[in-house]
């Protein structure tokens, strides 16, 4: 009887793994091997982690109105600029429906504290609405400053809507700041609410999270980058501090695109349809930054983010520089990065020397030998946890936002990024990347060759398990 049950579990779940749509072969093989080796543990793990079924709401609009953005803010690119920019912009449009738009200005904010200073100042100056979404919001100095500013804005009549991820910000939701904002009249939403953990497991993976960081103020100002609403000392993981982030503040039509993304998430949390906000005239500036919001999630086309990263890599003609805290690529993206270096592009990737996830740190290093052999320059940042997610191409184009280069961002998380074309602004991001490199140690092939067999074994096992975890 136990043998029959054993075989039924293995056969049934293996068939389910093979029949699930949108799963790459490596992931299917990894799950089938895991279930075959440990049927009962594997079955439980698969039910909890194996299938992505993001929360849905009956009647939720798949996409709010986006036409006004395209109609009133078309981009102006020279033929030379368009040659390198259009592949990335075209793919970005196919992913989330937003066209690249001109008429924007933007600035790179100095550091995490300067970002909070600017955010509080903008909230204090808001006259119509404040919309904030953070994966992690902490009750520390910076988190408290923003919460207080939002509460003040609500009390003076500004409509304030706040979304936090139910898991990432669980401590903040229980804090007095959450209650104080509600009392002040702030409208609050919890993304990917967990509720009863057992019932939540039956709905699918608990770790499908809203990892976005979105700020929209008065439909004219938006922020985009890697920073959560917290101090750089990051109290929940202080031994990795400071957390080093990069955030840009934009003004112009691109704010409407982030607004749309926010309001779709807001509807999911609150059932409040705010589509009327998207019928207002789009606010332009006299800037020349051409920018595009790219929002992804489990409901996006399969491999949306890896395809975007690879497209930008292949569009590079002279230089490609990347910073990311988590590098666990699929095979196609690893091949694209190697190919970039092999065709003579100056290719650099900057990673944290000490990762807050030992699993991710080990899996990342399993790819070092192949990258170095192809000619990719690898630097490990030693001044804290490098959390900035940046990609610059030829000193002209930049991708910044919340998405990491790992399977979690590719398949599980809701992410938001901005792709923009502007040489001066990209130079500012590139200068920040150079600061990261200056505070890093270079990794050479000789370093990797000295790794012990045990270390290489650990790294490769972690990489092998990445399609499961």
Higher pLDDT, 354 or 407: 354
**Domain match, 268 and 314 both:** no
Is residue 128 part of the annotated active site? The answer reads no
**Phi, psi torsion values for 154, nearest 5 degrees:** -65, -40
pLDDT tens string 5-20: 767 777 877 777 677 6
- Sequence-distant (6+) residues with CB within 8 A of 129 are 158, 159, 160, 161, 216, 217, 218, 219, 277
The pTM score is: 0.89
Is residue 213 part of the annotated active site? The answer reads yes
Q: How many C-alpha atoms does 252 have within 13 Å on its Cβ side?
A: 28
Q: How many degrees, rounded to 5, is the angle at CA 433 between CA 131 and CA 324?
A: 65
Is a pLDDT exceeding 60 seen at residue 83? no
Is a pLDDT exceeding 50 seen at residue 61? no
Q: Which two tokens stand for residue 237?
A: 């993981």
List the catalytic residue out of 177, 367, 379, 387.
Answer: 387
Confidence label for 466 from pLDDT (cuts 50, 70 and 90): confident
**Domain match, 223 and 322 both:** no
Is a pLDDT exceeding 80 seen at residue 206? no
Q: Are the CB atoms for 180 and 150 separated by under 8 Å?
A: no
Confidence label for 57 from pLDDT (cuts 50, 70 and 90): very low
How many whole angstroms separate alpha carbon 212 and alpha carbon 205?
Answer: 18
Is residue 389 part of the annotated active site? The answer reads yes
List the catalytic residue out of 24, 122, 166, 211.
Answer: 211
Is residue 177 part of the annotated active site? The answer reads no
pLDDT score for 79: 46
Q: Are the CB atoms for 94 and 88 separated by under 8 Å?
A: no
How many whole angstroms separate alpha carbon 269 and alpha carbon 428?
Answer: 36
**Domain match, 316 and 279 both:** no
How many whole angstroms separate alpha carbon 186 and alpha carbon 153?
Answer: 9
Extended strands (E) in 135-237: 159-165, 187-191, 213-217, 221-225
**Domain match, 410 and 348 both:** yes
**Domain match, 397 and 461 both:** yes
Is residue 394 part of the annotated active site? The answer reads yes
pLDDT score for 82: 54
Is residue 422 part of the annotated active site? The answer reads no
In a domain, 461, yes or no: yes
Sign for the CA dihedral angle at 265, 267, 272, 276 comes to: positive
In a domain, 277, yes or no: yes
pLDDT tens string 383-431: 899 999 999 999 999 999 999 999 889 888 999 999 999 999 999 999 9
pLDDT score for 72: 40
pLDDT score for 301: 73
Other beta carbons within 10 angstroms of residue 333's beta carbon come to: 21
Q: Are the CB atoms for 379 and 441 separated by under 8 Å?
A: yes
Number of domains the chain is built from: 3
**Domain match, 130 and 38 both:** no
Q: Which two tokens stand for residue 377?
A: 């320059």
Is a pLDDT exceeding 80 seen at residue 463? yes
Q: Are the CB atoms for 103 and 252 separated by under 8 Å?
A: yes
Q: Which domain holds residue 33?
A: 2-49
List the catalytic residue out of 389, 406, 421, 422.
Answer: 389
Q: Are the CB atoms for 366 and 463 separated by under 8 Å?
A: yes
Q: Which two tokens stand for residue 184?
A: 């002040």
Q: Give the least confident one: 194-198, 244-248, 437-441.
A: 194-198
List the catalytic residue out of 218, 283, 288, 447.
Answer: 218
pLDDT tens string 99-156: 999 999 999 999 999 999 999 999 999 999 999 999 999 999 999 999 999 999 999 9
Q: What CATH number has the domain bearing residue 200?
A: 3.30.870.10
**Domain match, 38 and 130 both:** no
Average pLDDT over residues 244-266: 97
Last residue within a domain, chosen from 288, 319, 342: 288
In a domain, 40, yes or no: yes
**Domain match, 331 and 263 both:** no
pLDDT tens string 267-307: 999 999 999 999 999 989 999 999 999 999 988 876 899 99
List the catalytic residue out of 122, 394, 406, 422.
Answer: 394
List the catalytic residue out of 131, 213, 367, 421.
Answer: 213
């Amino acid at each position: 009887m136990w043998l029959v049950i054993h075989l039924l579990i293995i056969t049934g779940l293996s068939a389910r793994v093979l029949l699930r749509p949108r799963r790459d072969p490596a992931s299917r093989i990894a799950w089938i091997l895991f279930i075959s080796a440990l049927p009962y543990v594997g079955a439980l793990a698969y039910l909890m982690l194996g299938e992505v079924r993001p929360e849905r709401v009956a009647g939720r609009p798949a996409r709010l109105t986006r036409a006004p953005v395209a109609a009133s803010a078309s981009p102006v690119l020279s033929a030379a600029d368009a040659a390198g920019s259009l592949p990335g912009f075209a793919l970005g449009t196919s992913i989330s429906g937003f066209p690249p738009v001109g008429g924007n200005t933007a600035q790179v904010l100095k550091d995490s504290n300067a970002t909070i200073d600017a955010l509080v100042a903008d909230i204090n100056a808001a006259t119509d609405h404040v919309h904030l979404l953070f994966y992690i919001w902490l009750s520390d100095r910076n988190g408290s400053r923003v919460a207080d500013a939002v509460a003040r804005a609500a009390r003076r009549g500004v409509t304030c809507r706040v979304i936090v991820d139910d898991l990432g910000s669980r401590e903040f939701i229980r804090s007095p700041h959450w209650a104080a904002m509600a009392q002040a009249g702030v409208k609050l939403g919890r993304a990917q609410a967990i509720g009863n953990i057992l019932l939540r497991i039956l709905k699918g993976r608990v770790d499908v999270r809203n990892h976005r960081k979105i700020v929209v103020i008065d439909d004219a100002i938006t922020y985009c980058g890697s920073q959560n609403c917290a101090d750089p000392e990051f109290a929940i993981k202080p031994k990795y501090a400071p957390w080093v982030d990069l955030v840009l503040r934009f003004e112009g039509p691109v704010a409407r695109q982030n607004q749309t993304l926010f309001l779709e998430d807001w509807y999911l949390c609150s059932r409040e349809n705010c589509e009327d906000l998207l019928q207002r005239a789009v606010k332009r500036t006299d800037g020349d930054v051409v920018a595009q919001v790219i929002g992804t999630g489990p409901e996006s086309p399969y491999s949306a983010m890896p395809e975007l990263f690879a497209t930008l890599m292949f569009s590079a003609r002279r230089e490609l520089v990347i910073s990311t805290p988590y590098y666990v690529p699929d095979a196609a993206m690893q091949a694209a990065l190697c190919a970039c270096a092999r065709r003579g592009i100056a290719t650099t990737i900057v990673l944290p020397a000490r990762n807050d996830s030992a699993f991710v740190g080990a899996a990342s290093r399993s790819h070092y030998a192949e990258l170095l052999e192809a000619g990719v320059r690898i630097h490990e940042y030693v001044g804290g946890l490098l959390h900035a997610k940046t990609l610059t191409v030829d000193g002209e184009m930049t991708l910044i936002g919340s998405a990491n280069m790992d399977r979690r961002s590719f398949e599980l998380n809701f992410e938001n990024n901005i792709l923009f074309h502007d040489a001066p602004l990209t130079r500012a991001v590139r200068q920040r990347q150079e600061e990261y490199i200056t505070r890093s140690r270079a990794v050479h092939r000789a370093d990797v060759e000295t790794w012990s067999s045990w270390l290489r074994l650990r790294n490769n096992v972690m990489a092998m398990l990445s399609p499961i975890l």
